[in-house]
Structure 1
Amino acid sequence: MLASLAANLRHAPVLERDHGSMPIPPDMPITPDAPLTPDTKNWTWVIEKPCPECGFDAATFGAKDVAAMLLANAAAWPPVLNRADVRSRPGESTWSPLEYAAHVRDVFRLYHHRLELMQRDDNPLYPNWDQDETAVAERYNTQDPAVIAAELTEAAASLSAAFGRVTDWSRPGRRSDGVQFTIESFSKYFIHDPIHHLHDVSR
């Protein structure tokens, strides 16, 4: 699965907040999976100060805590995917709960790949990923919520185990926009994404 994801990564603008379709029941609320206005903000500041939207504070935990934190986050998504409004967008600029969950699944896979690069190569340059283009191309809002729940859980378990095997948290990696990480800062930056998106679907 990681090899498949890596093959789909392309060099394009970094847009990071960094499967088969299923028939849709006629009574299921759904919003077409048209593209939203891309979020082009650089969220790396969450490593240094709390997020005022979701309350995330990187100063309150260590990098070694991230493995357990992501498993706890993953466990909260299946109930979200059972909601009747799972395909409904609450507004013109906000994804549906299903789209957020599919995005989080792919974030888990993407960061697993990047973590492997950092452990294998010297200061690797991450392949870029356009999250908004992926959401449309992969038709996130028509995917099966049960499948997404299973895949998200599996991806979280794999990434958690990979973080648990890290022995050198100082190994570096970088994005094409010039942002430089160590595995330590990378882990703290990463975990904000699924935490923030769980907050997005809980409002």
Structure 2
Amino acid sequence: MQSDGITPDTVTPDTVTPDTKDWTWVLERPCPECGYDAAAGDPLAVGDVTRGTLPRWEAALARADVAVRPAPGVWSALEYGAHVRDVFRVFDGRLRSMIEENDPQFPSWDQDATAVAEDYAHQDPEVVAAELVAAGAAVADRFDAVGTDQLDRPGRRSNGSLFTVRTLGQYFLHDVVHHLHDVRA
């Protein structure tokens, strides 16, 4: 079911250039694009900050032009919203594994392949908004349950990037906030 004003012809068919950057540098310095300083974030406030982004995401996903790409090769607010919903889900699983396991290696997640396979561009924005809010609340709750004695528990991506629960939360928040900047919300 399409929302008012959103039809398949309002979504441009161009492909998006995959983002191959290793964004772990945001743990060392503020992001020059969005201005977010991940390293300055309180690792015990990740849940609250995440919840604070949810109304902004809902508003972005309620826009009449939600499925329109602002430029060739750039995701629409709908595609970014679907991506952030999945970021919430992926990081919820990663955080759970870091708390429950000893130094887990996270399964690979190709965000660009997921966007194509799940057809982000044609998902229903109302459904995406509801799923994003639910997934955001779930990962926020999981971050809320982290104790100070768990902040240094390790985990690693398949490419070898090492995280602690602390840095995973900081890295995660940058992703969520950065994409709000991308959609101007």
Shorter chain as normaliser: what TM range? over 0.9
The answer as to 2:62 corresponding to 1:82 is yes
1:174 deviates by 0.2
Shift of 1:24: 6.9
Give the alignment partner of residue 43 of structure 1, picking from 23, 30, 43.
23
The correspondence for 2:102, drawn from 106, 122, 134, is 122
In structure 2, stretches of 5+ residues that fail to align are none
Aligned residues: 182
Report the CA distance between 1:26 and its aligned residue. Answer: 7.1
Per-residue Cα deviation, 1:118-155 (whole angstroms, up to 9, x for no partner) = 11111000001111111111111111111111111111
The corresponding residue for 1:141 is 121
Aligned pair partner of 2:74 in 94, 104, 125: 94
Q: What is the RMSD computed on CA atoms of the aligned residues?
A: 1.7
For residues 79 and 182 of structure 1, what CA distance do their matches in structure 2 show? 32
1:1-203 superposed matches below 5 A = 22-23=1-2, 28=7, 30-32=10-12, 34-167=14-147, 168-202=150-184
Q: Percent identity?
A: 48
Deviations along 1:25-73, one digit per CA (max 9) or x if unpaired, are 6764622455311100000010110000000012432111111111111
TM-score (norm 1): 0.85
1:101, 1:59 → 2: CA distance?
Answer: 24
Per-residue deviation, residues 75-104 of structure 1 (Å, max 9, x unmatched)? 211111111110011112210000000000
Distance 1:104 1:26, change over 3 A: closer
Structure 2 contact 57–180 (Cα < 8 Å) conserved = yes
CA contact 1:56–1:195 (8 Å) conserved in 2: yes
| 2:167 alignment partner AA | S
Structure 2 contact 3–125 (Cα < 8 Å) conserved: no
Q: Could you tell me whether the CA contact under 8 Å between 2:3 and 2:126 is conserved in 1?
A: no
Q: Which residue of 2 aligns with 1:4?
A: none
**Aligned-partner Cα distance in 2 for 1:150–1:182:** 30
Shift in Å, 1:195: 0.3
Structure 1 residue runs without a partner (length 5+): 1-21
Q: Residues 180 and 55 from structure 1, CA distance in 2 versus in 1: closer, same or farther, beyond 3 angstroms?
A: same
